[in-house]
């Protein structure tokens, strides 16, 4: 079907058989009625009403039949149906009120709003039906373990993910299943071996550029959007790692706070690399929004795919780079194979001639290489700005192990236990991917929450959303101080009390066969940058006056308790979590000599 057909029209055309079935059944029934009934005269109004009612009646029959067949299947598997929220929480057809709340929360709510209360009302795993479709939500570690690892073969990324993520990630490793996923993973695995991710020249070059730009801005008396800086740092580092040369986003001017005349820059005046980054962000936001609707998302983007124009610019940037790589390969100029200088692009071109596969895989790795690590560093600095005693202790470790100037090595980073604990505690409270999901490919079950209970039945084709953001904050899993930012929990007896016996309570990089290949790359990049940052700066202060007013947390949050009440920024999420309108900070340069 032509790519120019609006998504809504395309969806309706594909759904035509299901749409035509109810009126066709009514038409057949009317035909036989008129054929055999003695008094076969029906008014036009009645006939019209029957045709109109055929659609909700067909939907109701479908829902009831599905429920009955699922209950029969559950009984055969000696399983029980999943608990669900009370009907009175949302008595509207298709849970339309709940859908509205989810859409509203996406725009300005707090991640996981209301889910923590489900531990009491429904338990940590429940069926949250939206638009008459089953959608399981879980923050139970044993169930997440089953989905990601022990019952891996029962769950795929699924048709939902392919449909919603397709325009952004295409056929890349994060959006496909089966043999294609294995092919992508085998292609990229060699580039995340230790010898590839411990060469820190790329990190050092871009970290120095980023820190110098920050110093210049601080000397002007303005705060810096740290989230913007590290997003540029990770994107330039990722593109150099992928292509052999970076796209130069750190060469563009940094934004000023909103209250200055130069605070905003028109998209028309942005450099191409800045336009690329902006389009990249907007495409992710649009993609994340459509996941609320599952396979029905085209009805909410009826006349226009909201990612299409953005992805044109992104692909327009990638195509010349890929074409140049292919040209070098065909001319025999690419002699980097199996050498330390071989890029990911070189490697992909050597193993496939399919331009779409190459482009999509590069896109997937760019998303992972930029956003997850930028999220980790952003929220680490946010937490350091709120906990100066932790900042001081972290700097003490850095200056003791490495000193104020020396470039860190892999061995240095490996030995810095407190630095790793700070990163892990940030990953616990602010996981870069706070929510993710899989889809069951057959009738299956999840293990019971309590010993002696029956397993929980999962129908085929059910979307299972796992909420790491909620699981990582559960006091029954992490202790009574679970909402407190405390890196020591990864160093003291709490490790053996909570994490060691139940490692699936902490999953910032996923688990099982699809565990993030770039996990150690992310740790190395984040650690390296933070070391360089804190060698140069000794204080970090959140600049609340530089935050745009509409990005500040609403006053109502302060009344709701927990970390929500103490947040100084608004948390948002597309594919990864980020700070709304940026993390504006001021930093004080480190003195020449320091005593601890």
Task: Please provide the DSSP assignment of 459-521 as one string.
Answer: -TT-EEEEEHHHHTT-HHHH-TTTTS--GGGGTSTHIIIIITT-GGG--TT--GGG--TTHHH
> Among the listed ranges 71-75, 177-181, 267-271, 451-455, which one has the minimum average pLDDT value?
267-271
Q: Is the pLDDT of residue 261 over 70?
A: no
SS3 annotation, 255-271: CCCCCCCCCCCCHHHCC
User: Is 516 annotated as a binding-site member?
Assistant: yes
Q: Is the pLDDT of residue 330 over 80?
A: no
Per the listing, tokens 């986003």 go with 249
pLDDT tier at 562, thresholds 50, 70, 90: confident
Given this model, what pLDDT does residue 512 score?
A: 92
Residue 227 to residue 585: CA distance in whole angstroms: 10
What is the residue-averaged pLDDT of the chain? 86
Given this model, what pLDDT does residue 334 score?
A: 46
Q: Which residues contact 291 (CB under 8 A, 6 or more apart)?
A: 160, 164, 297
Q: Is the pLDDT of residue 399 over 90?
A: yes
In a domain, 139, yes or no: no
Count: domains in the chain: 2
In a domain, 87, yes or no: no
Do 68 and 161 fall into the same domain?
A: no
Distance of CA 292 to the CA centre of its chain: 13
Residue 224 to residue 215: CA distance in whole angstroms: 9
In a domain, 385, yes or no: yes
Q: Which residue, 21, 51, 75, sits at the end of a domain?
A: 75
Most confident range, picked from 20-34, 331-345, 350-364, 502-516: 502-516
Q: Which residue, 26, 46, 75, sits at the end of a domain?
A: 75
Given this model, what pLDDT does residue 293 score?
A: 80
Which domain, by its residues, includes 385? 144-589
Per residue in 94-149, pLDDT (tens digit) is 777 777 776 666 666 788 887 777 877 888 999 888 777 888 999 999 999 999 99
Q: 301-306: which pairs have CB atoms within 8 A and are 24 or more residues apart?
A: 301/7, 301/8, 302/6, 302/7, 302/8, 302/9, 303/6, 303/7, 303/8, 304/6, 304/7, 305/6, 305/7, 305/167
Q: Is the pLDDT of residue 228 over 80?
A: yes
Per residue in 568-588, pLDDT (tens digit) is 999 988 888 999 999 999 999
Do 50 and 176 fall into the same domain?
A: no
Do 456 and 535 fall into the same domain?
A: yes
Do 153 and 26 fall into the same domain?
A: no
Given this model, what pLDDT does residue 269 score?
A: 52
Do 152 and 71 fall into the same domain?
A: no
Given this model, what pLDDT does residue 36 score?
A: 78
Q: Is the pLDDT of residue 1 over 70?
A: no
Q: Is the pLDDT of residue 508 over 50?
A: yes
Given this model, what pLDDT does residue 529 score?
A: 97
Given this model, what pLDDT does residue 219 score?
A: 95
> 337-353 in b/e burial notation, b at 16+ Cβ within 10 A?
eeeeebbbbbbbbbeee
In a domain, 103, yes or no: no
Confirm if 376 and 526 have CB atoms less than 8 A apart.
yes
Residue 334 to residue 319: CA distance in whole angstroms: 18
Torsion angle defined by CA atoms of residues 473, 478, 481 and 484, in that order, rounded to the nearest 10 degrees: -50
Given this model, what pLDDT does residue 359 score?
A: 84
Confirm if 396 and 593 have CB atoms less than 8 A apart.
no
Do 65 and 191 fall into the same domain?
A: no
Do 62 and 168 fall into the same domain?
A: no
pLDDT tier at 547, thresholds 50, 70, 90: very high
Confirm if 458 and 440 have CB atoms less than 8 A apart.
yes
Q: Is the pLDDT of residue 267 over 70?
A: no
In a domain, 130, yes or no: no
> Among the listed ranges 71-80, 101-110, 470-479, which one has the minimum average pLDDT value?
101-110
Average of per-residue pLDDT across 380-394: 97
Confirm if 547 and 591 have CB atoms less than 8 A apart.
no
Q: Which residue, 75, 93, 118, sits at the end of a domain?
A: 75
Structure tokens at 187: 């292609």
Residue 166 to residue 95: CA distance in whole angstroms: 26
Do 155 and 251 fall into the same domain?
A: yes
What global pTM score does this model have? 0.89
Do 67 and 191 fall into the same domain?
A: no
> What one-character DSSP code corresponds to residue 369?
I
In a domain, 157, yes or no: yes
Q: Is the pLDDT of residue 263 over 70?
A: no
Do 206 and 310 fall into the same domain?
A: yes
User: Can you point out the beta strands (E) in 211-356?
Assistant: 224-225
In a domain, 120, yes or no: no
Do 331 and 188 fall into the same domain?
A: yes
Per the listing, tokens 């700097």 go with 395
Q: For residue 177, what is the domain's CATH number?
A: 1.10.630.10
Given this model, what pLDDT does residue 268 score?
A: 47
Residue 494 to residue 337: CA distance in whole angstroms: 47
Given this model, what pLDDT does residue 105 score?
A: 67
pLDDT tier at 239, thresholds 50, 70, 90: confident
In a domain, 178, yes or no: yes
Do 201 and 279 fall into the same domain?
A: yes
pLDDT tier at 196, thresholds 50, 70, 90: low
521 or 120, which is more confident?
Answer: 521
Average of per-residue pLDDT across 297-317: 85
């Amino acid at each position: 079907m032509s790519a120019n057909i609006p998504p809504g029209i395309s969806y309706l055309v594909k759904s035509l058989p299901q749409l035509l079935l109810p009126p066709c059944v009514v038409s057949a029934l009317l035909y036989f009625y008129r054929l055999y009934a003695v008094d076969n005269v029906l008014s036009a109004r009645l006939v019209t009403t029957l045709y109109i009612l055929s659609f909700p009646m067909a939907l109701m029959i479908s829902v009831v039949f599905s429920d009955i067949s699922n209950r029969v299947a559950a009984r055969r598997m000696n399983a029980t149906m999943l608990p669900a929220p009370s009907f009175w929480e949302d008595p509207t057809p298709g849970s339309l009120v709940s859908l509205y709340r989810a859409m509203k929360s996406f725009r300005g709510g707090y991640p996981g709003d209301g889910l923590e209360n489900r531990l009491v009302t429904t338990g940590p795993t429940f069926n949250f039906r939206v638009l008459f479709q089953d959608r399981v939500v879980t923050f139970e570690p044993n169930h997440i373990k089953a989905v990601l690892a022990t019952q891996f073969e029962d769950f795929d990324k699924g048709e939902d993910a392919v449909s919603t993520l397709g325009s952004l990630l295409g056929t890349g490793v994060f959006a496909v299943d089966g043999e294609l996923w294995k092919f992508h993973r085998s292609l990229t695995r060699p580039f995340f071996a230790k010898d590839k991710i411990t060469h820190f020249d790329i990190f050092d070059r871009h970290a120095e550029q980023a820190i110098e730009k920050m110093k210049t801005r601080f000397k002007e008396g303005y705060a810096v959007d740290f989230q913007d800086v590290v997003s540029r740092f990770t994107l330039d580092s990722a593109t150099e790692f992928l292509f052999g040369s970076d796209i130069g986003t750190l060469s563009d001017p940094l934004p000023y706070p909103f209250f200055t005349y130069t605070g905003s820059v028109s998209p028309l005046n942005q450099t191409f690399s800045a336009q690329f980054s902006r389009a990249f962000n907007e495409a992710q936001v649009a993609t994340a929004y459509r996941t609320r609707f599952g396979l029905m998302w085209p009805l909410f983007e009826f006349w226009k795919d909201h990612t299409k124009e953005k992805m044109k610019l992104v692909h327009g940037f990638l195509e010349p780079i890929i074409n140049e790589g292919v040209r070098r390969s065909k001319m025999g100029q690419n002699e980097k194979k199996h050498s330390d200088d071989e890029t990911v692009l070189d490697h992909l071109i050597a193993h496939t001639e399919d331009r779409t596969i190459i482009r999509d895989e590069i896109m997937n790795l760019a998303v992972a290489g930029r956003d997850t690590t930028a999220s980790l560093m952003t929220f680490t600095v946010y937490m350091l700005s709120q906990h100066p005693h932790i900042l001081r202790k972290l700097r003490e470790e850095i200056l003791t192990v490495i000193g104020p100037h020396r470039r860190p090595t892999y061995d240095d980073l490996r030995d810095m236990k407190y630095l790793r604990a700070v990163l892990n505690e940030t990953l616990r409270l602010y996981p870069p991917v706070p929510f993710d999901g899989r889809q069951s490919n057959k009738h299956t079950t999840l293990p019971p929450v309590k010993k002696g209970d029956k397993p929980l039945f999962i129908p085929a084709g059910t979307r299972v959303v796992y909420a790491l953001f909620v699981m990582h904050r559960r006091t029954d899993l992490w202790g009574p101080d679970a909402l407190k930012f405390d890196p020591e929990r990864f160093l003291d007896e709490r490790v053996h009390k909570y994490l060691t016996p139940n490692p699936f309570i902490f999953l910032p990089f996923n688990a099982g066969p699809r565990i993030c290949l770039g996990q150690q790359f992310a740790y190395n990049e984040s650690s390296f940058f933070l070391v360089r940052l804190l060698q140069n700066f000794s204080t970090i202060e959140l600049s609340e006056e530089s935050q745009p007013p509409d990005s500040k947390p609403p006053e109502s949050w302060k009344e709701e308790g927990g970390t929500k009440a103490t947040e100084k920024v608004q948390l948002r999420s597309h594919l990864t979590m980020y700070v709304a309108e940026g993390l504006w900070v001021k930093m004080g340069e480190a003195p020449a000599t320091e005593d601890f």
